[in-house]
Chain A
Amino acid sequence: KQEVTQIPAALSVPEGENLVLNCSFTDSAIYNLQWFRQDPGKGLTSLLLIQSSQREQTSGRLNASLDKSSGRSTLYIAASQPGDSATYLCAVPGYGGSQGNLIFGKGTKLSVKP
């Protein structure tokens, strides 16, 4: 059974700092991995999707890497800003397919202090 774990559960950093969020999964037979952002009381915003054949994806100040063999992904945020404060979730398809249900971690709650 696939399980997704995110460390740390919460993180507080001063504005301008570079930071790394971690995601690990137990079954390496995944088709892709997706990172989301969730603001309090809101839905999820897709940030990046990495296919299993890719090692990283970049969007602006965000860079996500994927190491399937070790069951890990990292989300790197450069030059953090107060507007980056949110909960960041990673998710993988539940039964190895490319579509179908996603299995989520509990998220990392990020607070960027001005």
Chain B
Amino acid sequence: GAGVSQTPSNKVTEKGKYVELRCDPISGHTALYWYRQSLGQGPEFLIYFQGTGAADDSGLPNDRFFAVRPEGSVSTLKIQRTERGDSAMYLCASSGRGDTQYFGPGTRLTVL
């Protein structure tokens, strides 16, 4: 079946602009995760949804970052007033009844 998909695959924006990154999880997966990965580092946790609600948003770096999952499937990560330090690969993952997290291909964000 279809895996996790993320759009866009690449996003280039200017400092100060607003961006939205989208994640489509595997159908039926109730848990959805967002991670951020800088070059040469492992992914770092941002936020975890169980259904429609954020079960853990302790990884969001500041209030410029926000994520929603209004119907319990697709999620959008929103970044306001982007800064150059926000440039990274943003990864989404989902999991079902088991513990394995399945990752999407990522969105490469570049803030100029």
Contacts and interface: CB of A to CB of B under 8 A. Distances in A.
Contact of B48 (A51, A91, A100, A105): A100
A43 B45 contact: no
A25 B50 CA distance: 26
A70 interface: no
Interface string A86-110: 0001010110001111111111000
Task: Please report whether the interface of chain B is mostly helix, strand, loop or mixed according to DSSP.
Answer: strand
B3 to A, nearest CB: 9
- Specify the main secondary structure of chain A where it touches its partner: strand
Contacts of B105: 42-43
Contact of B91 (A43, A49, A51): A43
A80 to B, nearest CB: 22
A51 B98 CA distance: 11
Given A41-B108, A100-B56, A107 B42 contact: yes
Contacts of A106: 40-42
A4 B59 CA distance: 17
Interface size class, chain A: 20 to 34
A105 B37 CA distance: 12
Interface residues of B, number: 31
Contact of B103 (A36, A99, A107): A36
B84 to A, nearest CB: 20
A4 B42 contact: yes
Contact of B100 (A4, A31, A46, A89): A46
Contacts of B43: 44, 89, 102, 104
Interface in B1-50: 4, 6, 31, 33, 35, 40-45, 48, 50
A49 B106 contact: no
A98 B104 contact: no
Interface of B: 4, 6, 31, 33, 35, 40-45, 48, 50, 55-56, 58-59, 89, 91, 93, 95, 98-106, 108
Interface of A: 4, 31-32, 34, 36, 41-46, 49, 51, 89, 91, 93-94, 98-107
